[in-house]
Amino acid sequence: MNALLVTTGSRGDVEPFVALARGLVDAGHCPTLAAPARFRALAEGHGITYIALDDSLFELQDALANAGTFAALTGAVRAKSALKLFLNDVADLITVATDIVVYHPKTLAAPLVAEHRGVPSMAVQLIPLYQPTTAFPSPLLSVPVPRAMNRVSWRLSSAIEAPWRGMLRTLHRDRLGLSTPVVGIADRVAADGALNAWSPHLLPAPADWPASAAPLGFWRLPASSESPTPKLVEFLNDGEPPVYVGFGSMVSKHPDAVGAAIRDALRRIGRRGVVVTGAGAVELEGDDSILVLDHVSHDWLLPRTAVAVHHGGVGTVGAALSAGVPQVIRPFLGDQQFWAKRVVEIGAGVRLRQLTAESLVEAIVAAESCAPRARAHADSIRGNTDGVAQAVGRIEQRLAEWKEQR
């Protein structure tokens, strides 16, 4: 089958789709991946046919990071224009021949492409967003709520779409020529289900979810052909396993202070560190005991570390859990609070509420005591059915059922 995969966001939103595309190729199918232009090399490095979508929205986010309140307010107008460019690029995907559209909910307009082409669509949830439960509140909620409010809190996901519905209606009617009602992502997931791309060892399906909502497992890329730098290999071989520190696409107002706290903490406990600066949350100079990099393969590095200190994005949580490395999570925003709580609940790490040298020392020491549980989870995950293979099977099933119903 031809499959059009559409995603947007950070690397954590794109890499699982690259893994899914690779899995579809290996199963004999012909996927095309559409994602922000900055990830072209990642996809093409795995032999995936790629369509670059406008990513000026992310360039704007980079420019406005820590730029102050006034810049943030004026940036809201520019963000609307950037989103319009992105949505128009998504709408252009109607020219791609496909039998099914598999999409990240953040793409908003991808299901409309499927409608225009007269093919089925299927959402991918990298975090639980559109399948309400009484077991826990929406991961988008950053404050505790009474258990009785858990299910109500899931309305947040639909509310996030509200500011863009006018833009979507215009696209739906004028650009794509559709006369059907505009359907929200929550209603689409309720009707068609979703592919849940996380491990049940991290978050099992609650009892009030349908069987089709069971988590499929993490979607991991095949082992990278990219070799680690000689400098990194030499550093790892020169002493005990280091502490990994990296905050992905997060930024901080005072990256130099974050860097100073990390350096001080590692010195106090006599540990070596590999620090990844990423999008700019950390700023520090390396030395004999701290190696500073701008990026690194988590799948390659984390199994060679003693503790992983990170922001709590589900991609990094999954990589650390699969590597059997205890975690220290300092959440910045959104669902990171939710995943930090889950990691603590399963005994695979600790949560850090404020990043200071003193608190980081305590957190690293506490996390090391979680190492046996972290290794046990990794063993269980390795024994599971491959999440990508499960997803490919579900997509094949969805298309077959859709054809039978026509």
CATH number at residue 77: 3.40.50.2000
Residue 69 predicted with pLDDT over 80: no
- Positive/negative CA dihedral, 355, 356, 357, 360: negative
Apex 11 CA angle, 8 and 17, nearest 5? 65
Same domain membership, residue 394 and residue 305: no
Residues contacting 209, CB < 8 A, separation 6+: 131, 133
- Give the residue carrying structure tokens 């077991």: 135
Q: Is residue 77 part of a domain?
A: yes
Same domain membership, residue 14 and residue 106: yes
Residue 67 predicted with pLDDT over 70: no
Contact assessment for residue 210 and residue 227, using Cβ atoms and an 8 Å cutoff: no
Q: Is residue 344 part of a domain?
A: yes
Same domain membership, residue 358 and residue 241: yes
- Positive/negative CA dihedral, 218, 224, 229, 230: positive
Same domain membership, residue 342 and residue 284: yes
Same domain membership, residue 396 and residue 378: no
Domain count, the chain: 2
Contact assessment for residue 265 and residue 291, using Cβ atoms and an 8 Å cutoff: no
Q: What single DSSP character describes residue 205?
A: P
Measure the CA–CA gap between 395 and 377, rounded to whole angstroms.
Answer: 27
Residue 164 predicted with pLDDT over 60: yes
The per-type count for the chain, helices as H runs and strands as E runs, is: 17, 12
Report the pLDDT averaged over residues 293-316.
Answer: 93
Compute how many other C-beta atoms are within 10 angstroms of the C-beta atom of residue 326.
Answer: 26
Q: What is the pLDDT of residues 360-402, one digit of tens each?
A: 999 999 999 999 999 999 999 887 768 999 999 999 999 999 9
pLDDT band at 71 (very low <50, low <70, confident <90, very high): very low
Residue 64 predicted with pLDDT over 70: no
Task: Give residue 237's domain range.
Answer: 230-382
Distance of CA 341 to the CA centre of its chain: 17
Same domain membership, residue 262 and residue 296: yes
Contact assessment for residue 334 and residue 147, using Cβ atoms and an 8 Å cutoff: no
Distance of CA 227 to the CA centre of its chain: 24
Q: What single DSSP character describes residue 181?
A: P
Same domain membership, residue 156 and residue 297: no
Q: Is residue 365 part of a domain?
A: yes
Same domain membership, residue 30 and residue 174: yes
Compute how many other C-beta atoms are within 10 angstroms of the C-beta atom of residue 156.
Answer: 14
Same domain membership, residue 207 and residue 114: yes
Same domain membership, residue 339 and residue 391: no
Three-state DSSP class for residue 32: strand
Same domain membership, residue 373 and residue 350: yes
Measure the CA–CA gap between 325 and 32, rounded to whole angstroms.
Answer: 34
Three-state DSSP class for residue 292: strand
The strand pairing partners of 30, in sequence order, are 2
Q: What is the pLDDT of residues 20-33, one digit of tens each?
A: 999 999 999 999 99
Same domain membership, residue 366 and residue 281: yes
Q: What single DSSP character describes residue 95?
A: G
Backbone angles phi, psi at 245, to 5 degrees: -135, 125
Q: Which secondary structure element, helix H or strand E, spans residue 6, and what is its range?
A: strand 2-6
Which one, of 126, 122, 131, 198, lies nearest residue 394 by Cα?
122
pLDDT score for 176 = 92
Q: Is residue 334 part of a domain?
A: yes
Q: Is residue 317 part of a domain?
A: yes
Q: Is residue 222 part of a domain?
A: no
Q: Is residue 223 part of a domain?
A: no
Q: What is the pTM of this model?
A: 0.91
